[in-house]
Amino acid sequence: MKKTIAVDMDNVIVDIEANWINWYANAFGIRVTKEAMYGIPEDQAFPDPLAARSLLYKPGFFRYAPVVPGAQEAIIKLQENYDIYIVSAAMEFPNSLPEKYDWLAEHFPSITWKNIIFCGDKSVINTDYLIDDHFKNLDFHKGRPILFTAGHNRGIDRHTRVNNWEEVLTLMQQLEEPHQIT
């Protein structure tokens, strides 16, 4: 029986930061940098946080976001030795659930509907590992939490941190030597 890895979407396999920056620039003519998001909640990096947050309710926001570099290749590699589940708290924003499903179908066709979990509270997830960018999910995970670096979580030293998908593969190899990921 394979071990299980739950993988968050936003800021882990989906570059929501870059998407939000682009949508804000297109809507309001002001471009912020990813560095402006360091160490603060994402919406606080924008001159008008309420206007920025309103973009999350716009059709297409979640559907057309870019893929985090290396995520597609790493997920395929991890599937050789692990059961991978995509887990997203997709319930808060009305368009999020169908758009995220369509996004996954396009960018991660190797993830079947049986391995997609859309929920409101990730504390119910019981996998061996959880790769996520939010402490609210990692702090209560029953398995091993792995923090994926995003602007808002920089400078906080809780949980094992990875900065990119290459580091995820290296970490998993170190944690599971008998499974040899190359």
Catalytic residues, by residue number, are 8, 10
Structural contact between residues 93 and 57, judged by C-beta atoms closer than 8 angstroms: yes
Rounded-to-integer distance, Cα 13 and Cα 85, Å: 12
DSSP class of residue 91? S
Rounded-to-integer distance, Cα 177 and Cα 171, Å: 10
Structural contact between residues 172 and 78, judged by C-beta atoms closer than 8 angstroms: yes
